[in-house]
Amino acid sequence: MTHTRSTPRSILVIWPPQVLSYFNAGHHLALHQVAGHLRTALRGSVVDAVDASVERLTWKDIGNALFQKQYDVIAVMNDFDGVDGLARFLSYVAELSPRSKAVAFGRLSGVNPEYFQKFALDAIVHNGDFEAGVHAAIEVFDGHAERAPGVYVKGPDGWRAPDAPGTLLPPSAWYLPTPDELPYARYDELYSNDANKFCGIPRRRELVVPAARGCPIGCSYCEVHTIFGKRERRLTVDQVMEYVEESFAAAPFEYVAFYAPTFTLDRTWVRAMCDRFEAAGSRYPWKCATTLHHLDEDTVTRMGRSGCVRISVGLETLDEEGHDALPRSKQKSEGDLDRLARWCAAAGVELNCFVMVGLPGTTVEGTRRTVAKVHELGGRARPTVYCPWDETRADMTDREMSAFNRQLFAPGTHSMPPEDLAAAYHVVFGPQPDQTEVFQHIPERSRPVADTPAPGPRGVR
């Protein structure tokens, strides 16, 4: 989807400085997909992409870039707790590049756009694909429209709500970043300590492949269906193979991380993908995330044979008392988990289980039993805190809003006594004995000395 009406501009797409509570390279990929989309759609425009937190930039680095470049448009990415540095970043913009128009996009503004109206922004992307929303906001800034699908726009009389849902792009329009566009050496560092239970595999470099968007399952604690829709959109197998082969030829990647809400939702597609990987000699180790419900023995066997080294599943809980808070497809028993563990073991695939702490109806002891069962079956458990998005409000303070980060219990979202709360936090922040050794099954490739990141923001040195 290419538009040529907009005037060539200088554009900054940035994740402002903050201390990250969690890192998943797939979540950060959107920054570079938005930047790449704008370069393609707005021919002649200069678009810089800066992941300030990952690249360990200082506020002086940011100030230098803002003052020297004087961007026409700044697209500011946010995440669930990505408000820590937002006000400070926008104060730098106001002082050092006051004519810049600023638009916010990301997962947090996707679930609570009204909260962002207190900041010095000109537009807020609510739903639809991020790149389409940012592009639509620029069309408004250029005077080509008064409103933008899926985007709140600030006008002379205040904020105007979108008059239509945000645009959902066909997968053929998704921009796939080239290896030189992303700070992969920094990603390696963030994944090095497996006790943090980040999604990456330590000691090996991953290539993120954004395989799908949208999900029909509709979990209440997940943002995917509210932002990207309930109908899944997926790259073709040919597109995936071309991207993987070109990327591995260009840079020292060692495995593929498929970024998709429910990777095995389309089992026909998965089996075709496995056939292609196997036909290529199974030389691309890979991992994915899905649900128990969307797996069967034949699919797991094919996945392992084609090079899959890890399957992550949203187990959430084995407590039947907590099943009312889950979609029917995620209400699984110990028997279901036991079968999946046997399939994975036979296929040589690590089983990684997402476990939710504080899910309504569950107890801390029940959560411990769930984790213990995962360990008993030889799996790895990754705990996160239950986060009910329907309890966020527009009038929250930054501190209150930042607690909805899946690591802290936000005020008012639980009724546990202090001793149970401490026990719940022990599950998340206590020792993690089940650290992965799956990297031993992934061949290591040599890295050039020049792989060390250069100082300063990419594109603005």
| pLDDT tens-digit readout, 146-187 | 889 999 999 999 999 999 999 999 999 999 999 999 999 999
Look up residue 227 and give its two tokens: 């932002």
Residues 191 and 155 in one domain: no
The per-residue pLDDT for 399 is: 87
Query: Do the Cβ atoms of 107 and 27 come closer than 8 Å?
Result: yes
The per-residue pLDDT for 451 is: 64
Query: Do the Cβ atoms of 173 and 34 come closer than 8 Å?
Result: no
The per-residue pLDDT for 346 is: 98
SS3 123: strand
Residues 152 and 190 in one domain: no
Mean pLDDT for the chain overall: 93
Position 448 in a domain:
no
pLDDT for 61 beyond 80: yes
Residues 88 and 204 in one domain: no
Structural domain total, the chain: 2
Distant-in-sequence, close-in-space partners of 262: CB < 8 Å, separation ≥ 6: 212, 215, 217, 232, 289, 290, 291, 294
Cα-trace Rg, the chain: 22
Residues 76 and 118 in one domain: yes
Position 456 in a domain:
no
64-92 as b/e: b if 16+ CB within 10 A: bbbeebebbbbbbbbbbbbbbbbeebbeb
Q: What is the mean pLDDT of residues 273-286?
A: 96
pLDDT for 356 beyond 50: yes
Residues 224 and 148 in one domain: no
Position 302 in a domain:
yes
The per-residue pLDDT for 2 is: 42
3-state helix, strand, coil in the chain (%, to 5): 40, 15, 45
Q: What is the mean pLDDT of residues 413-423?
A: 92
Residues 188 and 130 in one domain: no
The CATH number assigned to the domain holding 67 equals: 3.40.50.2300
pLDDT for 458 beyond 60: no
| The model's pTM | 0.94
Position 391 in a domain:
yes
Residues 109 and 194 in one domain: no
Residues 238 and 376 in one domain: yes
> 25-41 vs 130-141: helix axis angle to the nearest 10?
40
- AA identity, residue 203: R
Residues 156 and 220 in one domain: no
What's the half-sphere exposure (Cβ side, CA atoms, 13 Å) at 147?
13
Query: Do the Cβ atoms of 375 and 434 come closer than 8 Å?
Result: yes
Residues 88 and 21 in one domain: yes
Residues 249 and 128 in one domain: no
Categorize the per-residue pLDDT at 23 as very low, low, confident or very high, splitting at 50, 70 and 90. Answer: very high
Q: What is the DSSP letter of 207?
A: E
Counting beta carbons within 10 angstroms of the beta carbon of residue 99, is it exposed (0 to 12), middle (13 to 18) or buried (19 or more)? Answer: exposed
Position 229 in a domain:
yes
372: how many CB neighbours lie within 10 A of its CB? Answer: 12
Q: What is the mean pLDDT of residues 215-224?
A: 90
Taking the CA atoms of residue 19, residue 77, residue 85 and residue 257 in that order, the dihedral angle to the nearest 10 degrees is: 0
pLDDT for 1 beyond 60: no
Position 290 in a domain:
yes
Q: What is the mean pLDDT of residues 243-258?
A: 97
User: How are strands ordered across the β-sheet holding 46-51?
Assistant: 46-51, 10-15, 73-78, 101-106, 123-125, 151-155, 158-160
Position 368 in a domain:
yes
The per-residue pLDDT for 389 is: 87
Q: How many residues belong to the chain?
A: 461
Percent of the chain with pLDDT over 70: 95
* Calpha distance 202→231 (Å, rounded): 33
Asked which of 105, 125, 160 is the last residue of a domain, the reply is 160
Categorize the per-residue pLDDT at 5 as very low, low, confident or very high, splitting at 50, 70 and 90. Answer: low
The per-residue pLDDT for 452 is: 53
pLDDT for 461 beyond 70: no
Q: What is the mean pLDDT of residues 341-360?
A: 97
Residues 227 and 327 in one domain: yes
**Which residue blocks in 251-390 are alpha helix, DSSP H?**
267-279, 297-305, 334-347, 364-376
Categorize the per-residue pLDDT at 455 as very low, low, confident or very high, splitting at 50, 70 and 90. Answer: very low
Q: What is the mean pLDDT of residues 441-451?
A: 80
Q: What is the mean pLDDT of residues 396-404?
A: 89
Categorize the per-residue pLDDT at 449 as very low, low, confident or very high, splitting at 50, 70 and 90. Answer: low
Categorize the per-residue pLDDT at 220 as very low, low, confident or very high, splitting at 50, 70 and 90. Answer: confident
95: how many CB neighbours lie within 10 A of its CB? Answer: 11
Q: For residue 143, give its domain range.
A: 10-160
pLDDT tens-digit profile of 101-128? 999 999 999 999 999 999 999 999 999 9
Position 283 in a domain:
yes
The CATH number assigned to the domain holding 377 equals: 3.20.20.70
